[in-house]
Amino acid sequence: MPESTLLPDLLAMTAQRSPQSIALSYGGLSMNYGDLSTQVTQFACGVLGLEIDRGDRIAIYLEKRFETVIASLGATAAGAVFVPVNPLLKPDQLAFILRDCNVRVLVTSPERLALIQDVLPLCHDLRHVVLTAPSAGAGQLHTQVAGSLGVSLWSDLAQCPSLPAHRVIDVDMAAILYTSGSTGTPKGVVLSHRNMVAGARSVASYLENRPQDTLLAVLPLSFDAGFSQLTTAFSAGARVVLLNYLMPRDVLKTMAQEGVTGLTAVPPLYIQLAQLEWPPAINNTLRYFANTGGRMPRDTLNTLRQRVPQAKPFLMYGLTEAFRSTYLPPEEVDHRPDSIGKAIPNAEILVLREDGSVCGPNEPGELVHRGALVGMGYWNDAERTAERYKPLALGTPGRATGLPLQEYAVFSGDTVRMDAQGYLYFIGRTDEMMKTSGYRVSPTEVEEILYATGLVGECVAFGVEHPTLGHAIHVIATRAQDTGASGLNDLINACRIRMPAYMVPASIEMVAAPLPRNPNGKIDRKLLSTQWKERHAA
């Protein structure tokens, strides 16, 4: 059997091997690999009937459901590019994405169409809307929208005759994933088939995914780590349970009911989950839990390991521009729990100085990712692409001086250090680092100590310009459960005991839980710091 090189091949090849194996579960229903592959092909034929060209963009604005997965893979099977839009985004945010990457086809539901139809005429390249079937009680199906847009039903696409897909090779575009846009407008990260297939194989290899696995998809599919739950599972022949959860308890309930063996989530969710009692059944089936999207507080990690002692913890670091960069093997967690590990398979991670030279052991520098997972840049944004995707200097490890062509790598903007054994440690975002009283301080370093006090549920630290200190450190936090009569003074005193004087926050503001999230589920540090500065402006 030939090796898969394109994204839809991951599904098609597993469907050939095990057509009756369950691929997806959602809302009490399941779909096997054979049926899923057939529906992906039908969708591809349907959109080809809409006269899309090679590389045209197809946006999917849906919650997690079968049609979301089918449309994503079906777009690439047709030779087009899928653009998953976070279902939490508002109409104007959706319209920005549709205009920014010149979307031709939008896949959505009748319920969502009712909310967004006023902005669609502003999307100059949009030609077709594909509607899923209405849910019970959804009201009359919208069959017309303003302007010259064609409207097709999902069921109509399945009836289209077979059409040849556009020729595609592995360096062609497969997806455009939009970042949350916490600074400026969202950026569309362009990923090739090679990027996504290489990422799926790499992650599935170190997580040791296998056909017997059941992975829980709790992260948005518009988030690279969220979509990875699909690609890693399909490459291994595993099952994915789609969950649009409302409360952390829904996650635990589903894990117990579905026999989940693998969970990948972001720290804010793990912080909430760690404060709950876990059904004993989870420990009988959960094989691993993986962290992404930021550093997990050590206290949270310790609590999770107590909740599910049989599960292996995988601490990971990644960025959308290069998908996944590092992981810490579970056997190293007790020895170096603060480390983000080493490079994942088929990637090389460098720590470089500003002049491009390699840092020495434990010397802070910028994390730089090279290899098959390096994306294709930001869509239609040469300036911001040049800031993040840069050529490696000749003589850099892996770049012999006789190579005449440039190789581009992702310069992450994250400051890290590498110890003598090659393990990496995250220090902070370059644009978030605080310099106070002459010391450079990472917000995550402050937050880690705050979590260790046991007096906060969630927290963010950020710097505010100060005439004498450089930056004054400010914190916004929620109270931890079961802290009794402990208050703000107790927390400040705990900081003074655990922190050097220059690191003690100038102020701590306690607010109601939970802290606001960005669309990818991370605590929105930028929003909180901006709101704080606006409230305290002179």
Tokens matching residue 233: 């599972």
Q: Under 8 Å CB-to-CB from 504, ≥6 apart: which residues? A: 473, 492, 495, 496
Q: Under 8 Å CB-to-CB from 421, ≥6 apart: which residues? A: none
Q: Residue 274: phi, psi to the nearest 5?
A: -65, -20
Q: Residue 4: phi, psi to the nearest 5?
A: -70, 135
Q: What is the pLDDT of residue 18?
A: 97
**In whole angstroms, how far apart are CA 151 and each of 122, 155, 462?**
17, 12, 47
CATH 3.40.50.1000 given to domain 7-192: no
**In whole angstroms, how far apart are CA 348 and each of 205, 240, 313?**
16, 29, 22
pTM above 0.75, yes or no: yes
Tokens matching residue 291: 């962290």
Residue of 118, 125, 124, 127 whose CA lies nearest to 146: 118
CATH 3.30.300.30 given to domain 434-535: yes
Residue pair 288/312 in contact by the 8 Å Cβ criterion: yes
Q: Report percent pLDDT > 90 for the chain.
A: 73
User: How confident is the model over 434-491, as pLDDT tens digits?
Assistant: 878 767 788 888 998 899 898 999 999 999 988 777 789 999 999 987 666 568 899 9
Q: How far apart are CA 480 and CA 458, in angstroms?
A: 8
Beta-strand relationship, 424-429 and 434-436: unpaired
Angle at 255 between CA 252 and CA 259, to 5 degrees: 155
Q: Report percent pLDDT > 70 for the chain.
A: 94
The CATH code of domain 347-430 reads 2.30.38.10
Span(s) in the chain for CATH 3.40.50.980: 7-192
Q: How far apart are CA 323 and CA 191, in angstroms?
A: 9
Q: CB atoms < 10 A from the CB of 435, how many?
A: 12
Residue pair 128/105 in contact by the 8 Å Cβ criterion: yes
Residue pair 186/97 in contact by the 8 Å Cβ criterion: yes
User: How confident is the model over 120-177, as pLDDT tens digits?
Assistant: 999 999 999 999 986 543 344 444 564 578 999 999 888 888 888 899 999 999 999 9
Span(s) in the chain for CATH 3.30.300.30: 434-535
